[in-house]
Chain A
Amino acid sequence: MSASKGLNPEAAIGPIAAPVATPAWQRGLYLLIGLCLAIAPLFLLESFHLFQLTMAVIMALAVLGLNIVCGYNGQISLGHGAFFAVGAYATAILMSHFDWSFWATLPVSAVVCGIIGYGIGFPALRLAGHYLALTTFSLAVAVPQILKHKSIEDWTGGVQGLFLVKPDPPAGLPLSPDQWMYVVTLIVAGVCFLLAWNLIRSRIGRALIATRDNPTAAEAMGMNIASLKTRAFAVSAMITGIAGSLSAVAIEFVAPDSFSIFVSITLFVGMVVGGVASILGSLFGGLFVLFVPNIAEAISKAAPGVIYGVILILFLFLLPGGFAGLIRSIGHRLRSRS
Chain B
Amino acid sequence: MDGLAHQIVAGIATGGIYASVALAIVMIYQATHHVNFAQGEMATLSTFIAWSMIQAGMPYWVAFFGTIVVSFAIGVVVERILIRPVANAPVLTMVGVFIGLLLIIGNATGWIFGYTTKVFPSPFASDRPLFGGLVSAHELGSTLVTLAVLTLVWAFFRFTRLGLAMRAAAYNPRSARLVGIRVGWMLALGWGMAAAIGAVAGMMVAPVVFLDPTMMLGILLYAFAGALMGGIDNPAGAVLGGFSVGVLENLAGAYVVGTELKLTVALAIIIGVLVVRPSGLFGRVVLSRV
Contacts and interface: CB of A to CB of B under 8 A. Distances in A.
A131 B228 CA distance: 9
Contact of B92 (A70, A139, A306, A309): A70
Q: How large is the interface on A (under 10, 10 to 19, 20 to 34, 35 or more residues)?
A: 35 or more
Contacts of B90: 11-14
Contacts of B99: 78, 265, 268-269, 309, 312
A131 B274 contact: yes
Nearest to B35: A130
Contacts of B85: 317
A312 B103 contact: yes
A146 B264 contact: yes
A309 B104 contact: yes
B58 interface: no
Contacts of B105: 309
A146 B261 contact: yes
Given A133-B35, A142-B266, A149 B261 contact: yes
Question: What 9 pairs between A and B have smallest CB-CB spacing?
Answer: A305-B107, A309-B103, A309-B104, A302-B111, A313-B100, A312-B100, A13-B92, A129-B91, A302-B107
Interface in B101-128: 101-108, 110-111, 115
Interface in A163-216: 216
Contacts of B66: none
Given A126-B275, A130-B34, A302-B107, A313 B266 contact: no
A134 interface: yes
A317 B106 CA distance: 21
B290 interface: yes
A317 B264 contact: no
A148 interface: yes
A243 to B, nearest CB: 20
A138 B111 CA distance: 25
A6 B90 CA distance: 10
Contacts of B261: 145-146, 149
A138 B92 contact: no
Given A126-B274, A149-B261, A309 B107 contact: yes
Given A272-B96, A309-B107, A127 B274 contact: yes
Interface in B155-170: none
Interface string A74-85: 101010000000
Contacts of B225: 138
A276 interface: yes
Interface of A: 1-2, 5-6, 11-14, 70, 74, 76, 78, 123, 126-127, 129-131, 133-135, 137-139, 141-142, 145-146, 148-150, 216, 261, 265, 268-269, 272, 276, 300-306, 308-310, 312-313, 316-317, 320
B227 to A, nearest CB: 9
A6 B278 CA distance: 26
Interface stretch (B191-199, B203-211, B216-224): B216-224
Nearest to B113: A302
A303 B224 CA distance: 28
Given A309-B107, A312-B96, A12 B91 contact: yes
A76 B260 contact: no
Given A130-B35, A313-B97, A76 B278 contact: no
Interface in B37-74: 37
B111 A306 contact: yes
B91 A145 contact: no
Interface residues of B, number: 50
Contacts of A265: 99, 102-103
Contact of B93 (A139, A261, A316): A316
Interface of B: 33-35, 37, 82, 85-86, 88-93, 95-97, 99-108, 110-111, 115, 173-174, 217-218, 221, 224-225, 228, 260-264, 266-267, 270-271, 274-275, 278, 290
B224 A309 contact: no
Given A123-B271, A142-B263, A145-B261, A300 B91 contact: no
Given A145-B264, A308-B103, A313-B100, A133 B274 contact: no
A105 B224 CA distance: 37
Contact of B110 (A2, A141, A302): A302
Contacts of A2: 173-174
A76 B267 contact: no
A11 B271 CA distance: 23
Given A129-B91, A130-B34, A313-B82, A303 B111 contact: yes
Contact of A317 (B86, B92, B224): B86
B12 to A, nearest CB: 23
A221 B104 CA distance: 43
Given A70-B92, A142-B221, A150-B260, A135 B103 contact: no
Contacts of B34: 130
Given A138-B224, A141-B218, A269-B99, A316 B37 contact: no
A130 B174 contact: no
Given A70-B92, A305-B107, 8 more contacts: A126-B275, A142-B264, A145-B264, A150-B260, A308-B100, A308-B103, A312-B100, A313-B100
